[in-house]
Amino acid sequence: MSQNTGYFSSSIPLNTAKATTTPGVHEADVPVTRPTSLKRVLSGPALKTMLAGGAHSQPKTPTKDDSEFRDYSHSEISRDVATIKNSVVMHLTATFLRTPASIDSAHAYLASAFSVRDRLLQRWNLTN
pLDDT of residue 62: 55
pLDDT digits (tens), the chain, 128 positions:
455 555 555 555 555 555 555 555 555 566 667 777 766 677 777 777 777 776 656 565 655 667 777 777 777 788 899 999 999 999 999 999 999 999 999 999 999 999 999 999 888 888 86
Find all residues with CB under 8 Å of 19, minimum gap 6, and list them.
Answer: 26, 27, 28, 30
CA separation, residue 9 to residues 14, 26, 36, 68 (Å)? 10, 19, 27, 53
pLDDT of residue 26: 54
For residues 45 and 33, is the Cβ–Cβ distance under 8 A?
Answer: no
Under DSSP, the state recorded for 10 is -
pLDDT of residue 87: 94
> Which residue type is seen at 73?
S
